[in-house]
């Protein structure tokens, strides 16, 4: 048997703590609390929790909430929740400095959400999210910083999108 960390069901799952962007930290270092896996939530609850995590600059953790929603929700909403998860992971990669991967996932998530009919039933601002994702993807995949030759720095909390229509 390997020395891999395992969840109670025996599946491989790293027990290393993680930072707000989901990066593994050394054992023994305090990280942010991880989202429990396999939580079945009502769509409104998933959106509230994901928005809280996005606003806190933790898009990786928001992605886990969306992943639970797509796995536990109806097949007719799979594209919606996968698209939202891709947006969260795209923001995660962009904030970690992987701007090419972030832009790719932001565009993929936007394409999945564009024209999605399930979004309206949950008050999700699909049009606004598609616009946000495409604009951010364009910005992070643009020219690198002339002074240091680095991609633009993305602050995950400052860039957090609004998921739902209406007041914040």
Domain annotation for the chain: domains and CATH numbers: 43-140 (1.10.3450.10)
pLDDT score, position 150:
67
pLDDT tens-digit map of 123-132: 999 999 999 9
Residues 6, 71: Cα–Cα separation, whole Å: 21
Determine the 3-state secondary structure of 75 from DSSP: helix
For residues 18 and 31, the answer to whether their CB atoms sit within 8 Å is yes
The pLDDT of 84-106, averaged and rounded, is 96
Q: Which residues have a Cβ under 8 Å from the Cβ of 131 and sit 6 or more positions away?
A: none
Residue 60 has pLDDT above 70, yes or no: yes
Residue 2 has pLDDT above 70, yes or no: no
Q: How confident is the model at residue 67 (pLDDT cuts 50, 70, 90)?
A: very high
Q: How confident is the model at residue 95 (pLDDT cuts 50, 70, 90)?
A: very high
Residue 35 has pLDDT above 90, yes or no: no
Q: How confident is the model at residue 1 (pLDDT cuts 50, 70, 90)?
A: very low
pLDDT score, position 146:
64
Q: Measuring CA to CA, which residue among 81, 65, 51 is closest to residue 22?
A: 65
Residues 115, 58: Cα–Cα separation, whole Å: 27
The pLDDT of 134-147, averaged and rounded, is 82
pTM for this one? 0.86
Residues found in the chain: 168
pLDDT tens-digit map of 36-59: 888 999 999 999 999 999 999 999
pLDDT score, position 147:
65
């Amino acid at each position: 048997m390997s020395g891999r960390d395992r969840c109670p069901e025996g599946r491989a799952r790293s027990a290393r703590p993680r930072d707000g962007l989901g990066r593994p930290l050394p054992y023994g270092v305090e990280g942010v609390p991880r989202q429990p896996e396999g939580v079945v939530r009502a769509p409104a609850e998933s959106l509230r929790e994901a928005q809280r995590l996005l606003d806190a600059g933790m898009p990786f953790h928001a992605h886990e909430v969306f992943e639970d929603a797509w796995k536990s929700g109806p097949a007719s909403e799979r594209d919606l929740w996968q698209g939202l998860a891709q947006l969260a992971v795209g923001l995660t990669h962009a904030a970690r400095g992987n701007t090419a991967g972030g832009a790719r996932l932001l565009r993929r998530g936007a394409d999945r959400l564009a024209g999605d009919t399930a979004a309206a039933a949950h008050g999700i601002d699909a049009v606004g999210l598609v616009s946000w994702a495409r604009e951010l993807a364009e910005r992070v995949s643009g020219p690198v910083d002339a002074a240091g030759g680095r991609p633009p720095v993305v602050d995950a909390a400052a860039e957090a999108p609004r998921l739902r229509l209406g007041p914040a």
